[in-house]
Every structure is written in C-alpha cells, then in structure tokens.
C-alpha cells in the first residue's frame, strides 16, 4: 500500500521510469544471486576434491625435506669426523683441514645447503663453540645469558633429536650486524644433543633452517588458495596462515574437518601424519573466501543495473527535451486546477454555494469528503508594508507534506490564511488540527521570522458551514489578548467563547505541547509565560473541584515526564520530602501563587537538572578532545595551546580536567610523554638522546631525570631490563 501511494504521488513520466527500472533490476538481481550460489556450490565441490590431492603432494614434499635433513644429521653426528670434533678439548685452530671437513658436513649436501641458513655446535664438555662464522670459547659468547637460559631449558627436554620453532626469539645483533662471537638460537631449528647419564649434556648441535626456502615451496599452493601448517610434537614449526593454525589448535586438533577461527572465517582442513618423522601436516583453504569471490556476480548485476539506469536517464532527458511543450501545458493545467480549487474555497468562505453545488463541485474536482472538519485561520503579527506579499510567499512555499495533510488547498482570504482539516471523527480531526497548527506556526516562524495570531473553529460536519466556521475563527483572533503581544505567537479556540458545555476542551493540547517544548529547551521565561496562560485558560472556564484537580494533575504529570525522555530519573531531581508534591500543589487556588509554586517546585528544578546534564556531556566531549590533542602531539602541547585550538579559556579547560579526571593538565601530558618514551625504548633502536629529541626535550639529562622520577629507572636501564 505504501509503495502504491508513493507511485500515485509521482507524475506519469516518473511512474513509467520507476516501473521500467523495477522491471529490469529485479531479474538482474535474482540472476546475480543465483549465479553466486551456483559458483559457491561448484567451487566448494572442486576445492574439496582437490584438497586431498594437494595434501598428499604437500606432505610428501615437506616430509621428504624434513626427514632427509633429520636423517642426514643423525648419520653424520655418529660418524668419525664428527666424533673427532666432539673429542677436541681445546679449539683446534691448527687443524684447518679437519675443521673444513667438519664445516662441509654441518653445512649439508648440495641438495640440503639451500635449506640451511646456519648451524651452531656447542661443545659443552670442553667449553667452545663452532659455527659457519668460526670458532670461539664459550665463555666469550656475546649473548651468553640468553644461551644459558636456552641450554637450561634443553635439560628438561627428554628427546635427543627434535624440531623446534623459536620464532619469537630475536637473532643476536650488535648494532646493525651480528657479532661473530654469538650463538643464534632463533627461528626454526633441528636440535640434536648428546647427554651423559649423570652430568647432563656433553654437546648440542643447532641446525637453523631457512624458512624463506620452505615458504617458497608453498607459494604455488598459496596462490591457489591453500595454506600449510607443520607440527612437530604438537608444536608449530611452520605455518603460512596464522589464523588457520590458531583455529586448528584452538579446537584441539580433532583431525580433518571444518574449523571456525576467532575472526569468523571457516577453514576446510585436511590432516596428514608423517609415517616415520613424527610430523603432522595441516593443509586447508578459506571457505569464506569462496563466498567473497562469488559476490562478483552480484556486483556485476549491479553494474549492469547502473548502466541501464544511466541509459534510462539519458533517454528520459532526451524525451524531456522533446516533450517540453507538453510539460508546459501540464504545469498550466495544474495551475488551473489549483486556481479552481482556491475559487471553490473562497466561494465556501463567502457562503455563496448551496449543498447541491458543493456536492457537484466535489465530484467534479475529485475531492474526498470527510464526516468531520475544523478550520484554522492565521494572521501574521507586525506592521510590515510587504505583509500581503509575504502571505503569498507563505502559501507558495508551503511544504508538500503539509499540503497533503489539509482537506483542500489553503487560501488567503480577508488578510488571513485559511486552512481546512478533515477526518473521520471529531477526536481525529482535533488531533490533526493540533499537529497541523504547530507545524504551520513553526514554518512561518523559521522561514519568515514572524509571530502569528491564530483562531480555530468548532468542529463542523457540513461544508456549507464553512462560512460559520470562518466567522468563529475571526472572532477568536479578534480577541485583544490574542493580538496585543506582537513578539509571541498566540492561539484562541472558539470553543473558549461558548457558554454551553464550558468544560469541554478546557485542557488545550497545543498549549501543553508548547509548554513541554519550552521546558525541554530550558527556556524558563517562555515556560513561565505558557504556564500562566494555561492557568488563566482554566480559570476562564470556571473549572472547580475534582475536574480542576484532574486537569491540573494531568498538566503536572506531562511536565514530570520530561526528565525521563532526557534520561534523567525523577529521584535525581526531587528528594523524598517532595513525594506529595502533586497533592500539595492542587491545594493552591490563587493564580499567582499556583504559577509560582509550579515554577519553583517543579519546572525550575527540572530545567536546572537538564542544564547540568547537558553541561556534563559537553565536559566529557572536551576531555576527549584534549586527550586526542595530547596523543597527536606526544604530550608536547601546553594548556594555552589546547585552549586556543578548542576555543575555550585555559582556566575553564583546567577546571573541566580536574572535575572529570581528578588530575591536572600537566599530569595528563606527562603520562602521555611517558607512554611515548616507553614505546620507543622497547620497539625502536633509537638512542636515548634521539628519543629525548623526538619528545622535544632541550637536553637529554632533563629527559633522563623526568623518566627516572616516574619509573624508578633510567631509560637505558628500563630498556635493558625489558628487552632481554
């Protein structure tokens, strides 16, 4: 129904454009979705079938490399040349030929050497080290503390030959180059050790594997969408996709199947176990990537739609160029219809039409008839000489949404704007009238800056009563109290002037809405004026007893609902002694005393709390902006500079920080500087002097003094302590 109403509101040309667009776009979108599903189904089947084949290939290739390396070194450490190397108590500098043979053995064969980046032989019994860079006494090892920790950890490992991945360990460096007197225990290692039964290890051989060469093997598979993880003793020694590896380990390594990662991706994983080398090969692909690739079909359909829309637009623009005379005629007919309707309303206002002529005109112009009506007449306050022209501007500029809520077109009649509202029943027409009046009044105030005097008629049920309704509006507007204030808009209902049924309509919904809006906007003077007007209207009706208390309680309840809509509890505004506030106020009968009591006891505390809440919200935003400036500047910004950028006084900014955080601006700035300093000390190779310069200290001693006062360490000591 809603779509039909939208189409009915469009011109015939636009309706055709929309129908053609829908006629083409829906099949294209359906085709794109179907193609997407077909691709996902076929690609998933294809990947599933090829996964097993690739798993055999990958596990075979890697298994051959790892088993060959392992068997080669096991065979050679048991050979005579290696035993000779182990038996040397002192570093055999003079046995050059023997050492060269040992280097060739440890460097691997022609097939293996590309996979071996380094080796470290540590003769623990006799205290010396041999690697591809040379030989040196163990006691002169540059990174001996780290190596000692590593050797101690090896004492707890029961295996004598195994694979170990120490990717989290940094390789030894002195400045930008490796120190020759160092032992590299980082990366992927083949560990071979010899242990005494009582005294522990006698020697240890670390063969460091070049992971780049291993990854080169998986590049061709990775391009096809397959990733590889290799486990030894349930520890990861190689992986090309950390997310897939983590999902497999997290699920407890259940074997082949579907695994979901923490990031939401799904992996189809095939597991192969090495028969002799104890390795586990995990090969898989990202199932969600298939879905992403499939979206190209949907995107293609949208591209086709965009091209079609462009063609339609071009055709439409071309048609518009040729149909311009027809459009001019269409606008002319539209204006003629508008003028005819305005003339019809003017004749109704003059009372020149009988029921028969009215009925014929309604059928002729296709105007919907309603059982109930009300009229709104509005006069703009002021003495502007162009007031009559402005009435025309107001009517011509009325938004379409307002025009659609009126029974028939509005008119300018006898220096008043006249609006008719229709509905099925009296209550509905009352509600529609309230809403329409508010929007028209606000529209005139916002766009023309003028206050208005408005009158609303009683409900009527026949259109030949329009003249009578207009007279009622004119009588309501002519009241002196309604027109003497030229600064504020005013409203009068003709119902207020009726002696019969004087209790009806005493509680004015429009005034209530205006009062609530004024309180919510924290306009205390406007709220006071509207409250007094409401009380005066009640007194005009001579409402007493239970009925007076009912309407007064209803007004106060509407006011007390304002804090809740702003997220403020009533208990935060009123204390326990005010629990009977409604009862006490209804016992006040003097007009001035009643207005003062409601303002003092209810309205003023609510406005005060709303202002305070909004101020606190503003202070939290200020704190966020200050912290961002400090972070962007690494703490190198003054309070005055912050205040200038945020357009606040420095004292106010300092007060906000103290109130929100309980600390000074200097404390927050120092905290940010300290954070930046620690980050650079731990993650960069910058010297202390360079870090001091980046943090804009005049000299390095001031920076060292500042850091030590807050951390208890000098920067150099802090770096040494936390980077070992």
What's the pLDDT tens digit per position in 138-150? 898 888 888 888 8
Average pLDDT for the chain: 78
Which among 194, 186, 189, 192 is positioned nearest to 205, based on CA atoms?
A: 192
| Residue 31 is assigned to a structural domain of this protein | no
Beta bridge mates, 191: 162, 206
Six-digit token pair at 142? 């540059």
**Same-domain pairing of 164 and 226:** yes
pLDDT at 137: 92
**Same-domain pairing of 191 and 115:** yes
Contact in structure between 190 and 233 (CB atoms under 8 Å) = no
Read off the CATH number of the domain in which 693 is found: 1.10.10.60
**Same-domain pairing of 389 and 531:** no
The span from the CA of 348 to the CA of 346, in Å, is 5
**Same-domain pairing of 481 and 527:** no
The span from the CA of 475 to the CA of 268, in Å, is 82
With cut-offs at 50, 70 and 90, classify the pLDDT of residue 326. low
| Residue 41 is assigned to a structural domain of this protein | no
**Same-domain pairing of 170 and 220:** yes
Boundary-marking domain end, from 462, 480, 498: 498
| Residue 685 is assigned to a structural domain of this protein | yes
pLDDT at 270: 86
Q: What is the pTM of this model?
A: 0.41
The pLDDT tens digits for 590-607 are 778 888 888 888 888 888
* Position with higher pLDDT, 481 vs 303: 303
- Residue 37 to residues 28, 290, 296: CA-CA distances in angstroms? 14, 10, 11
Boundary-marking domain end, from 575, 609, 643: 609
- Tally of CB atoms within 10 A around 178: 15
Contact in structure between 164 and 208 (CB atoms under 8 Å) = no
Q: How many helices (H) and strands (E) does the chain have?
A: 28, 16
The pLDDT tens digits for 86-95 are 888 888 887 8
Sheet hosting strand 128-131, strand order edge to edge: 134-137, 128-131, 116-123, 200-209, 187-196, 161-166
**Same-domain pairing of 130 and 245:** yes
> With 50 as the cut, is the pLDDT of residue 505 above it?
no
**Same-domain pairing of 490 and 506:** no
**Same-domain pairing of 138 and 249:** yes
Domains contained in the chain, number: 4
| Residue 18 is assigned to a structural domain of this protein | no
Boundary-marking domain end, from 264, 288, 312: 288
76, burial (CB in 10 Å: exposed 0-12, middle 13-18, buried 19+): middle
With cut-offs at 50, 70 and 90, classify the pLDDT of residue 317. confident
What is the average pLDDT across 20-30?
74
| Residue 555 is assigned to a structural domain of this protein | yes
The span from the CA of 662 to the CA of 164, in Å, is 51
**Same-domain pairing of 516 and 576:** yes
State which residues form the domain around 650.
633-722
Length of the chain: 724
Q: State the DSSP code for 149.
A: H
């Amino acid at each position: 129904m809603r779509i039909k109403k939208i189409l009915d509101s469009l011109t015939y040309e636009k309706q055709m454009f929309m129908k053609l667009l829908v006629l083409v776009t829906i099949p294209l979108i359906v085709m794109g979705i179907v193609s997407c599903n077909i691709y996902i189904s076929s690609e998933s089947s294809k990947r599933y079938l090829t996964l097993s084949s690739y798993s055999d290939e990958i596990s075979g290739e890697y298994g051959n490399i790892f088993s060959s390396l392992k068997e080669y070194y096991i065979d050679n450490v048991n050979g005579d040349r290696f035993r000779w190397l182990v038996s040397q108590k002192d570093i055999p500098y003079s046995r050059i030929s023997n050492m060269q043979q040992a280097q060739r053995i440890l460097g691997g064969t022609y097939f293996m050497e590309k996979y071996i980046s380094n080796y470290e032989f540590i003769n623990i019994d006799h205290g010396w080290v041999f690697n591809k860079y040379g030989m040196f006494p163990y006691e002169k090892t540059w990174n001996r503390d780290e190596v000692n920790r590593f050797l101690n950890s090896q004492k707890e490992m029961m295996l004598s030959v195994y694979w170990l991945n120490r990717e989290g360990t940094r390789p030894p460096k002195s400045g930008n180059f490796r120190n020759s007197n160092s032992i590299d225990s980082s990366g992927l290692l083949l560990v071979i050790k010899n242990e005494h039964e009582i005294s522990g290890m006698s020697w240890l051989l670390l063969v460091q594997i070049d992971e780049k060469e291993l990854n080169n093997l998986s590049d061709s598979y990775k391009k096809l969408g397959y990733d590889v993880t290799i486990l030894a003793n349930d520890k990861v020694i190689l992986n090309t996709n950390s997310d897939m590896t983590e999902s497999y380990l997290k699920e407890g390594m259940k074997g082949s199947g579907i695994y979901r990662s923490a990031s939401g991706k799904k992996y189809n994983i095939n597991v192969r176990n090495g028969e002799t080398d104890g390795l586990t090969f995990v090969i898989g692909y990202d199932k969600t990537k298939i879905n992403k690739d499939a979206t190209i079909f949907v995107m293609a359909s949208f591209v086709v739609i965009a091209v079609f829309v462009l063609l339609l637009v071009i055709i439409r623009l071309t048609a518009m160029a040729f149909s311009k005379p027809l459009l001019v005629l269409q606008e002319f007919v539209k204006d003629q219809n508008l003028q005819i309707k305005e003339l019809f309303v003017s004749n109704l206002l003059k009372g020149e039409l009988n029921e028969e002529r009215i009925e014929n005109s309604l059928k002729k112009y296709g105007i919907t008839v309603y059982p109930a009506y009300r009229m709104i007449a509005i006069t703009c306050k002021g003495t502007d000489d162009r007031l009559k022209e402005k009435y025309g501007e107001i009517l011509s500029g009325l938004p379409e949404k307002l025009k659609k809520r009126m029974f028939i077109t509005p008119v300018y009649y006898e220096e008043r704007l006249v609006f008719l509202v229709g509905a099925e029943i009296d209550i509905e027409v009352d509600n529609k009238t309230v809403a329409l009046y508010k929007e028209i009044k606000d529209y005139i105030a916002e766009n023309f800056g003028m206050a208005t005097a408005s009158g609303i008629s009683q409900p009527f049920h026949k259109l030949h009563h329009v003249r009578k309704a207009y007279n009622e509006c004119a009588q309501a507007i002519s009241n002196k109290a309604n027109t003497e204030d030229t600064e504020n808009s005013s409203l009068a209902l003709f119902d207020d002037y009726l002696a019969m049924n004087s209790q009806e309509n005493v509680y004015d919904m429009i005034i209530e809405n205006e009062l609530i809006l004024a309180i919510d906007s924290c306009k205390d003077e406007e709220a006071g004026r509207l409250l007094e007007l409401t009380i005066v209207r009640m007194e005009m009706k001579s409402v007493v007893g239970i009925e007076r208390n009912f309407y007064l309680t209803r007004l106060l309840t509407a006011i007390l609902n304002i804090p809740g809509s702003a997220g403020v509890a009533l208990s935060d505004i009123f204390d326990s002694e005010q629990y009977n506030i409604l009862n006490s106020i209804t016992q006040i009968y003097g007009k001035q005393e009643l207005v003062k009591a409601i303002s003092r006891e209810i309205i003023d505390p609510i406005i005060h709390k709303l202002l305070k809440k909004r101020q606190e919200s503003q202070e939290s935003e200020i704190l966020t902006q200050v912290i961002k400036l400090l972070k962007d500047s690494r703490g190198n910004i003054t309070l005055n500079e912050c205040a200038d950028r945020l357009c606040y006084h420095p004292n106010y900014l300092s007060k906000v920080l103290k109130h929100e955080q309980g600390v000074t601006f200097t404390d927050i700035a120092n905290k940010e500087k300290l954070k930046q300093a620690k980050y650079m000390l731990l993650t960069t190779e910058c010297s202390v002097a360079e870090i001091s310069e980046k943090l804009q200290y005049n000299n390095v001693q001031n920076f060292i003094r500042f850091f030590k006062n807050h951390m208890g360490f000098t920067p150099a000591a802090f770096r040494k302590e936390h980077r070992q």
